Structure 1
């Protein structure tokens, strides 16, 4: 009887530790495993730096660039999985405008796993991260081991979708005195955001 109790206790302890391990590897609020959260945050931090660098180096009149949370939809039980982020621009008068949303009758793209960023794991579980650097040439750069944006991963202008979106925000009056310029906005402040939330980027409200 005593041996039976010891076996039962050992089984319960094993199940308890297995349960704790499972919970520690899984975030129930996002429905993601911890390793999935880690690669998403890593990849999007680099994507945000890529976008902020392009805007800051190619547009004058900008005082600040920040980003929405990383907005995810779908997953293993509800494919396809998508993750998107929206840049937010402030002009020097303090006006604030969100990219990747509808202006009048035209919608503009978000930035994420639908074309700008590739996230995956190799057979050993190592992260695979690629950033698109030239949409017209379909050129991508491996940034899997980078903590900051490598020089070769900067976007090659012009980036039509981004340029058209900023022009539309200016023409719509949401931004003032923001112009394409080689002098850029070197003093613009940048605020990155790697918080992950479930939701649609098209419905995100700042």
Structure 2
């Protein structure tokens, strides 16, 4: 009888411990910046990855074809925020430029005290589903939105020929010495490496710092230490 009680207690202990572990992992998953299931379902995730990949290609192509002195172009994760019934849903990316001197700078952020336009929904990209539950991807091209839903890579007609806000941003970064010898030029930077990023993360506030800014602080710090 005593052995049976011990066995039962042991089983209960395992069940309770296992349940507690599973609950802890579930809570961690729910609070993880990688869990966006509360704002995007699986179809939404697929749509956003496709749409932002095309936007990244458009921005990277513009930089590569219109600026000399660039060695590498990369992108932050796709940061999503809102959509919780209290704030409007939004999603943005941060383009990152490296020059030939090892300097690294982020677009769409503040330079000194002046803020520059971010890159993402509304201004650059429209993502939705039509009445047949089919994906709709529209991208801004020189002030007009173009439907590129059926394209896997950026079509020539979706290339930017002008981008005044980005030009101002890059000029400010050069003037502030964040970048060196990055110049508007028809020669471009044909050998520049491009690194795309379609990872989706929640942008939340951590000790008063939004996750996008925290991401850049960490990566910038790593670049400085190398």
Separation (CA, whole Å) in 1 of partners of 2:154 and 2:86: 32
1:37 to 38, 45, 52: 45
Q: Displacement, 1:79? A: 3.7
Asked if the contact 1:97/1:175 (under 8 Å) is kept, the reply is yes
Structure 2 spans left out of the alignment, 5+ residues: 1-28, 204-209, 220-226
Corresponding residue of 2:151: 146
Superposition TM-score, scaled by structure 1 size: 0.82
Corresponding residue of 1:182: 186
Separation (CA, whole Å) in 2 of partners of 1:99 and 1:204: 14
Corresponding residue of 1:193: 197
Q: Displacement, 1:204? A: 4.2
Asked if the contact 1:62/1:185 (under 8 Å) is kept, the reply is yes
Corresponding residue of 1:56: 64
2:177 to 161, 173, 178: 173
Separation (CA, whole Å) in 1 of partners of 2:77 and 2:181: 27
Corresponding residue of 1:4: none
Corresponding residue of 1:101: 109
Considering fraction of residues, name the structure with more helix: 2
Structure 1 spans left out of the alignment, 5+ residues: 1-26
Separation (CA, whole Å) in 1 of partners of 2:79 and 2:141: 22
Superposition TM-score, scaled by structure 2 size: 0.75
Separation (CA, whole Å) in 2 of partners of 1:195 and 1:63: 23
Q: SS at the partner of 2:79?
A: strand
Q: Displacement, 1:78? A: 3.4
Q: Computing the radius of gyration over CA atoms, which structure comes out larger, 1 or 2?
A: 2
Corresponding residue of 2:168: 164
Q: Displacement, 1:102? A: 0.6
Q: SS at the partner of 1:63?
A: strand
Separation (CA, whole Å) in 2 of partners of 1:66 and 1:111: 13
Corresponding residue of 1:3: none
Separation (CA, whole Å) in 1 of partners of 2:141 and 2:84: 29
